[in-house]
Amino acid sequence: MPPRPILSQLLPSKAKDDRFRSNLDLANVVLSVLRDENLREYVTIEACHVALRFFYQHRFMVHAQDLYMRMEYLKMGVSTETWNIMLEASAVCKDLANFTKFLQGMVRRGFRPDANTWSAFTKVLDSAHIRSLVIRKMKTLGAMKNPNIQRRISSVMIGHHVEEHMQEDGAIDITSLFSEIHDLYGPHWLSTSAGNRVLSKLIRSSKNSKSAGISKALDVLAQMKAYGFTANHKTLGSFLQGCERVLQRDILMQVLVIFQDIWKLRPDLQGHERLFRCAWLHRDVNFLRAIWISACVKGYVTFSMQDRIMQSVLQYSLLSLPDSQAIPFTAMAGWFVLSVNPHGPITGIEQNENILRGKDRQVSQARVALKSNLALVGQASIPPGFLNVLRQALGIDYRWYQQGFWTSRKDQDNLIKDSLRISVADMGHARPMKAGFLRVGIFPGGAHPNKGPISALEDVPVRQDL
């Protein structure tokens, strides 16, 4: 079998392949294939370059070094591209010692630096002045004519130019900035990476108001789109990270709507985790429930999200409050998100529930509900109008806050009946997906009396087939 089909099967386009437990397992298999004596005649320099890039991308330096020694042993005749791959990896890691060693080896063997070699210099050096000297030399040598080099250099230097053009209030003249960068690096300078750096700087620029920084970044985003900028999930993630401390929920919804309408981008795994954390910080329980269900359906539930839920369940099981005192958010959120009554029957386990009491019983029930929620992956899909559900959830949370939901148990009992209803069964079928992982070993047993009822939390029932 030729090496390219072998590597195309072992090196997936995604960062992680379901056939392997981790990228490390995948790296071990790739290295074993390239070291197999039976496949020696098929191991080409191109195949090794593919493997080297994969190893360096995931910081498997030992594997990369092992492969390089293998290439030397086979006398494959490394090229300038081989050296550039190693120089680029050292530059990204800011490993000046390795960078110097590779550069010396390259020069000693008679290889002349090309445009990619020079661009690696700008990444390993942090000084803007030294970088500008390198770029000047590249222009002299004609190395800046390549559009890919223009985009690569601008993504490294863009942060320095943004700081120079930024005013004290965080405002920036994007036309003047882009005109200067165009003159310095060429007409093809704008890339997704460079644009993301501009937006990230703007989002963090406002010292007094985070919302002001996000609003300015949204204005700049609209202008950048006119220049041909294409956003990705990293762009969306920068905005969501900025929204974590923003009190105005309308800005958060504006961000989600813009990215879905223009670029068809919805929050990925990290995006769901940021939205979950944002809802938790601001005590938006209905919004928290909507994000949780979306994460369950898409298989985006992280261990940190599970930990927050189970910590909340444990806190509720240890709670002892007067009947008039409101249940705090950190004790209510777990049961509210799981959408079950903590004092209802336990379904889906074979143990006799009469044996379980207090904290043991509630934690067991929560784990059954959690497992049921995680089983939603691949069983349903999120409808296109789900942003309206999120907007509705934020509206309910705001109304509850205005009506004193977190200050009175009586208000909680009355208002919770109008909580957000999400019917997962009506969302339709999705393509088969890998099941979500249930985190094991959360909280040991221990008896404690039940405290405080919560009602009207049964709109998403626990599945009976677990």
pLDDT tens digits for range 248-297: 788 999 999 999 999 999 999 999 999 999 999 999 999 999 999 999 88
pLDDT at 199: 94
The set of residues, in sequence order, having a beta carbon less than 8 Å from that of 426 and lying 6+ positions away, is none
Say yes or no to pLDDT of 377 above 80. no
pLDDT at 40: 84
Say yes or no to pLDDT of 436 above 50. no
pLDDT at 287: 96
Q: What is the dihedral of CA 315, 318, 320, 325, to 10 degrees?
A: 10
Say yes or no to pLDDT of 318 above 80. yes
Residue 246 tokens read as 């923003």
Residue 64 tokens read as 């990369």
| Closest C-alpha to 400, from 383, 389, 412 | 412
Task: State the average pLDDT for the chain.
Answer: 81
Look-up of token digits 């500008």:
132
Average pLDDT (425-438) is 43
pLDDT at 189: 93
Say yes or no to pLDDT of 4 above 90. no
Look-up of token digits 């209803």:
421
pLDDT at 10: 55
**Whole-number Å distance between alpha carbons of 333 and 189:** 47
Q: What is the pLDDT of residues 193-214, one digit of tens each?
A: 999 999 999 998 765 566 788 9
Say yes or no to pLDDT of 1 above 70. no
Of the listed ranges 169-178, 222-231, 374-383, 396-405, the least confidently predicted one is 374-383
Residue 3 tokens read as 């090496």
Average pLDDT (347-371) is 62
Specify whether the CB–CB gap between 144 and 153 falls below 8 A.
yes
Average pLDDT (359-381) is 77
Amino acid 48 reads C
**CB-CB neighbours of 461 under 10 Å:** 13
The set of residues, in sequence order, having a beta carbon less than 8 Å from that of 210 and lying 6+ positions away, is 203, 242, 245, 246
Of the listed ranges 95-99, 162-166, 326-330, 375-379, the least confidently predicted one is 375-379
Residue 288 tokens read as 């928290």
Average pLDDT (422-434) is 47
pLDDT at 428: 42
Average pLDDT (4-31) is 65
Amino acid 291 reads I
pLDDT at 235: 97
Q: Per-residue confidence at 38, pLDDT binned at 50, 70, 90? A: confident
Q: Provide the CA 272 distance to its chain's centre, in angstroms.
A: 8
pLDDT at 12: 52
Say yes or no to pLDDT of 141 above 50. yes
pLDDT at 126: 82
Look-up of token digits 């630096």:
113
Q: Per-residue confidence at 306, pLDDT binned at 50, 70, 90? A: very high
Residues in the chain: 466
Q: Per-residue confidence at 14, pLDDT binned at 50, 70, 90? A: very low
Q: What is the pLDDT of residues 263-275, one digit of tens each?
A: 999 999 999 999 9
